[in-house]
Amino acid sequence: MTTIHPRRSVLYMPGSNARALEKAREIPADALILDLEDAVAPDVKEAARAQVCAAVKAGGYGRRELVIRVNGVDTPWFMDDLAAATEAKPDAILIPKISAPETLQQIGAQLTGLWADPAIRIWAMIETPLAILDIERIARAARDPTTRLSCFVMGTNDLAKETRARFVPGRAPMLPWLTSAILAARAYGIDIVDGVYNDLKDEDGFRAECEAGRDLGFDGKTLIHPGQVAAANAVFAPDGAELSRARAIIAAFDQPENADKGAIQLDGRMVERLHADMAKRVVALGEAIDA
Ligand SMILES: CC(C)(COP(=O)(O)OP(=O)(O)OC[C@H]1O[C@@H](n2cnc3c(N)ncnc32)[C@H](O)[C@@H]1OP(=O)(O)O)[C@@H](O)C(=O)NCCC(=O)NCCSC(=O)C[C@H](O)C(=O)O
Ligand SMILES: [Mg+2]
């Protein structure tokens, strides 16, 4: 089984906010996105870039994955952002508004030209109508190792802006786009995290959207405030009952009398070897979270 990176809680913070960058060293999020794009005003882009890269180089973030979100490829800041982020060596660089696989290939070539550390991954924001229309080809870019593509991040605010879809409880207008992106990500073996929930005060609505996202198949949720971390961590982690059942399924197939069986009955339910594979992933995720 490949290494599991828990990405239950992926917290954005403005790269211009020194206090947030400092505070994040103590916030129990699985990953941090240090943003140079939409959360940073044009006048302070250069200062934010320097501050973010200094924070990444200084470290002190423990096991949290560090991701730098650069400005878009068609902005005047992109190449300097990419070069500075490459030098700072975060775990990943997040590229906004990816709409075609060719852009990922072009960025892969630019990273090669910058002698980027091979460990740096590329995450892609899926937040344009064109990205949704071409999502299979974009995900397929992960098969080309030079793209380094390893994770999709849904940008539901930009999708709402571009499509004029409204945010409604349950997100019915967006469900086809979310599920298409999940399907494409899974088809090509990359992770995918859900979009943000803007209403900081609506704890029930936030938890409900986390649960819905988890049930759709997302690995976690992007967040905008430390107050959202605990609920996301709880919802996207396997709970005690899920872990017990997973261990019971694995143990059942390990019994000698089941060695030649593809399907068995366990507590009144049919379980197949594919369920044992799923159970192994649940246990591995639980262990990765505990670690
Ligand atoms: C939304 C906020 C501007 C609210 O900030 P604030 O009013 O300061 O909130 P609080 O007073 O409740 O803050 C309490 C303390 O927590 C720290 N804090 C707040 N937010 C963060 C954070 N994201 N990371 C780390 N620390 C944070 C404050 O500094 C306070 O600390 P202290 O002084 O010690 O009390 C703010 O939460 C914020 O800026 N959030 C992130 C906004 C952002 O990054 N937006 C861009 C990403 S969303 C997006 O673009 C998604 C996608 O592209 C799409 O299209 O959908
Ligand atoms: Mg966006």
**Per-domain boundaries in the chain:** 9-235, 240-290
Per-residue confidence (pLDDT) for residue 1, from 0 to 100: 62
- Ligand 1 atom 28, closest CA: 20
Q: What is the per-residue pLDDT across 45-78, written as a single tens digit (0 to 9) for each? A: 999 999 999 999 999 999 999 999 999 999 999 9
Q: Please tell me whether the overall predicted TM-score, pTM, comes out greater than 0.90 for this model.
A: yes
Q: From the CB of 196, is ligand 1 less than 6 Å away?
A: yes
3-class secondary structure, 125: strand
- Whether the pLDDT of residue 2 is over 90: the answer is no
Q: What is the per-residue pLDDT across 244-282, written as a single tens digit (0 to 9) for each? A: 999 999 999 999 999 999 999 999 999 999 999 999 999
Q: What's the chain's average pLDDT?
A: 97
CATH superfamily, region 9-235 = Phosphoenolpyruvate-binding domains (3.20.20.60)
Q: Give the residue from 88, 53, 94 showing the smallest Cα distance to 71.
A: 94
Ligand 1 atom index nearest CA of 35: 44
Per-residue confidence (pLDDT) for residue 196, from 0 to 100: 98
The ipTM of this complex is 0.98
Residue with tokens 């872990």: 243
Answer for the pair 60, 25: CB distance below 8 angstroms, yes or no. yes
- Tell me, in angstroms, the distance from the centre of ligand 1 to residue 279's CA: 36
Q: What is the per-residue pLDDT across 184-232, written as a single tens digit (0 to 9) for each? A: 999 999 999 999 999 999 999 999 999 999 999 999 999 999 999 999 9
The response to whether 127 counts as a known ligand-binding position is: yes
- Tell me, in angstroms, the distance from the centre of ligand 2 to residue 127's CA: 6
Per-residue confidence (pLDDT) for residue 79, from 0 to 100: 98
Mean pLDDT in residue range 147-161: 98
Q: From the CB of 153, is ligand 1 less than 6 Å away?
A: no
Q: From the CB of 226, is ligand 1 less than 6 Å away?
A: yes
Q: From the CB of 126, is ligand 1 less than 6 Å away?
A: no
- Tell me, in angstroms, the distance from the centre of ligand 1 to residue 13's CA: 6
197-203 contacts: CB < 8 A, separation 24 or more?
197/221, 197/223, 197/224, 197/228, 198/157, 198/167, 198/224, 200/224, 200/225, 200/227, 200/228, 203/231
3-state SS, 136-200, equals HHHHHHHHCHHHCEEEEEECHHHHHHHHCCCCCCCCHHHHHHHHHHHHHHHHCCCEEEECCCCCC
Q: How confident is the model at residue 124 (pLDDT cuts 50, 70, 90)?
A: very high
Q: From the CB of 162, is ligand 1 less than 6 Å away?
A: no
Residues at Cβ < 5 Å from ligand 2 ion: 127, 155, 158
